[in-house]
């Protein structure tokens, strides 16, 4: 019998800073694509102070490839679960938007029927202030009951 089967998407994740937020002399905040920290690899959960610096504020794209879970029964549901992030994030699966997360809030997206044999999960995380990052776990959960004896 199976109620919930988690598949942790720890990594490796690739990341690349997309833009940096800067406060101008007049107080206005602008996004710039110059002088960005280098791209790299991380394992989730992570805190981007360790890779991007403690003062980085802006948008970072995290992406990871994974295979379709095997032995999923037709009555089972597959969820993408993201525990709380310090910042808001937009989630995309294979280029299709799934939705957005709110800072400090967990998010769940039903991805049943949306998976390919090979998949790409993208998280665009925008932090308005440091520290930031995907500090919670990212995982797939297969929900359902398997009967047999």
Task: Report the predicted TM-score, pTM, of the whole model to 2 decimal places.
Answer: 0.85
What architecture (CATH level 2) is domain 4-143? Sandwich (2.60)
Q: Please name the residue that has the structure tokens 């989630």.
A: 91
Contacts (Cβ under 8 Å, ≥6 apart) of 63: 13, 14, 15, 120, 121, 122, 123
CA–CA dist 122, 105 (Å, integer): 18
Q: What pLDDT is attached to residue 61? A: 94
Q: What is the pLDDT along the chain (149 residues), one digit of tens a residue?
A: 458 889 999 989 999 999 998 888 998 888 999 989 999 999 988 877 788 888 888 899 999 999 999 888 888 999 999 987 777 889 999 999 999 988 888 899 999 999 999 999 999 988 766 656 666 788 899 998 443 33
All structural domains of the chain with their residue ranges: 4-143
Q: How far is residue 141's CA from residue 147's CA, in Å, rounded to a whole number?
A: 18
Look at residues 61, 78, 54, 81 and name the one whose alpha carbon lies nearest to residue 124.
61
The residues, ordered by sequence, that sit 6+ positions from 81 with a Cβ below 8 Å of its Cβ are 6, 106, 107, 108, 137, 138, 139, 140, 141
């Amino acid at each position: 019998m199976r109620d919930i089967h988690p598949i942790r998407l720890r990594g490796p994740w690739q990341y690349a800073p997309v833009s940096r937020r800067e406060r101008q002399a007049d107080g206005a905040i602008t996004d710039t694509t110059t002088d960005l920290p280098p791209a790299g690899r991380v394992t989730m959960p992570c805190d981007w102070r360790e890779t991007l610096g403690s003062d980085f504020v802006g948008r970072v794209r995290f992406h990871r490839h994974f295979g379709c879970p095997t032995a999923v029964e037709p009555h089972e549901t597959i969820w993408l679960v993201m525990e709380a992030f310090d910042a808001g994030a937009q989630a995309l699966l294979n280029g299709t938007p799934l939705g957005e997360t709110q800072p400090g809030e967990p998010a769940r997206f039903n991805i049943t029927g949306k998976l390919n044999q090979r998949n790409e999960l993208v998280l665009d995380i925008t932090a308005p202030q440091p520290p930031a990052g995907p500090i919670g776990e990212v995982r797939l959960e297969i929900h359902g009951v398997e009967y047999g004896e």
